[in-house]
Amino acid sequence: MYNNLIKLIRFYENRKIIILGGGGFIGSNLALALNKLYADIVVVDDFIYGTGGDPCNLKDANVNLVRSRIENISNWQDAIEPNSIVFHCAAKNTHKWCNLHPREDCEINYYPQFSIIQAIHAVGPSVKLIYCSTRTVYKDIEKSLITELSEILPQDVYSTHCFNSERLFQLLLSPQQVRILRLTNTYGPRQRLSGDEMGLVGEILYAALNNSFYQVFQNGMARRDINYVEDVVDALLSIAMLEKVGDPIVHLGGDWVQTKSIIEYVSEITGWTNYEYLDLPTKTISPLSTRRAAELLDWQPNVDLKTGLITTINYLQLAKAKHEISK
């Protein structure tokens, strides 16, 4: 671990890093990790409702904050230097809203990519782009491990725009510049616990922290793969360091756990018991393979479910007490 830290510091120290959507859940955790590596960080975020962006997420981070829509590149493109890394964590990933507002979703989750490409082109091929995409670009299948070669069939408007963004970056930037990570359900400190579509872990944590009633379908036997945000950040940092990756698509699969396991750990940690198991059907979501991430990045999710939930709950309880849970 020490040797890996030295490599990370050598790569990131004083390097200009731009985090698009850096006030959100994953982006802010990435910013804090980069602080420890002595990077020169610029965060671009307009804190649009529904994205999870919140200035409170950055209160402990040493960053230069540009409050701007990411497509307004005149506000931030001067920050890009040769050998900069652009981490693209910006999205409004409330799937139901995106289906109801496809044009607005396109304006938030697709059109800005053209401006980002323009900003990168202005500096040159030494700039790398790391794009956070989603597992939902795949065909919805059950009981089958999903690999990077599985069938693509985006499941909704948001996922369609994510996949089209992937293709756009691959077409208009050089292969050496682009890295695309398809993420599964991520949880951890600074995650959003309000608004629409908090995700499975978010829904359970919200219910527990507010002592709300929660119904668990299929008696808690349905499975999801989930990742602790620290593990996701580790992968982002690692893939940006690579000079060549070949195919730029890499999965970050997680722990394939039963809903019951999440419920019982949260109950144990918080004392929450206001839930019931129901023998009603719900889907098990097939897990993402981690094989390529392991081979390319020497990466596997390291934080076990209970440890991740303890850390997350401690953070959220403190944030709630201080009225700082993200909107």
* Domain membership of residue 16 as a residue range: 2-187+227-254+286-302
325 is a domain residue: no
- Which has the minimum average pLDDT: 105-119, 135-149, 208-222? 135-149
Instruction: Output the pLDDT for position 229.
Output: 97
**Per-residue DSSP letter, 126:** T
103 is a domain residue: yes
Q: Are 235 and 252 in contact (CB under 8 A)?
A: yes
| Domain total of the chain | 1
Instruction: With cut-offs at 50, 70 and 90, classify the pLDDT of residue 142.
Output: confident
- Rounded Cα gap, residues 280 and 176, in angstroms: 48
Instruction: Output the pLDDT for position 256.
Output: 93
Instruction: With cut-offs at 50, 70 and 90, classify the pLDDT of residue 325.
Output: very low
275 is a domain residue: no
Q: Roughly how many angstroms between the first and final C-alpha of the chain, as a whole number?
A: 35
139 is a domain residue: yes
Greater model confidence, 94 or 293: 293
Instruction: With cut-offs at 50, 70 and 90, classify the pLDDT of residue 3.
Output: low
Instruction: Output the pLDDT for position 323.
Output: 63
Instruction: Output the pLDDT for position 327.
Output: 42
Of residues 6, 37, 7, 34, the one with CA closest to residue 18: 34
**In 59-188, which ranges are continuous DSSP H helix?**
95-100, 102-109, 112-123, 157-172
**Strand 255-258 versus strand 223-228 pairing type:** antiparallel
Supply 220's token pair: 């808690």
Per residue in 257-293, pLDDT (tens digit) is 999 999 999 999 999 999 999 999 898 889 999 999 9
Instruction: Output the pLDDT for position 160.
Output: 96
113 is a domain residue: yes
User: The domain that contains 146 carries what CATH number?
Assistant: 3.40.50.720
Quick check: 245 pLDDT over 80? yes
- Rounded Cα gap, residues 244 and 127, in angstroms: 13
pTM of the model: 0.94
- Rounded Cα gap, residues 309 and 269, in angstroms: 8
Instruction: Output the pLDDT for position 5.
Output: 87
Distances, alpha carbon 172 to alpha carbons 83, 114, 152, 266, in Å: 18, 9, 21, 45
Q: What is the mean pLDDT of the chain?
A: 92
- Rounded Cα gap, residues 249 and 169, in angstroms: 12
Instruction: Output the pLDDT for position 96.
Output: 86
138 is a domain residue: yes
- Which has the minimum average pLDDT: 72-76, 137-141, 152-156, 183-187? 137-141
96 is a domain residue: yes
- Rounded Cα gap, residues 92 and 113, in angstroms: 14
315 is a domain residue: no
Instruction: Output the pLDDT for position 92.
Output: 86
Per residue in 8-52, pLDDT (tens digit) is 999 999 999 999 999 999 999 999 999 999 999 999 999 987 778
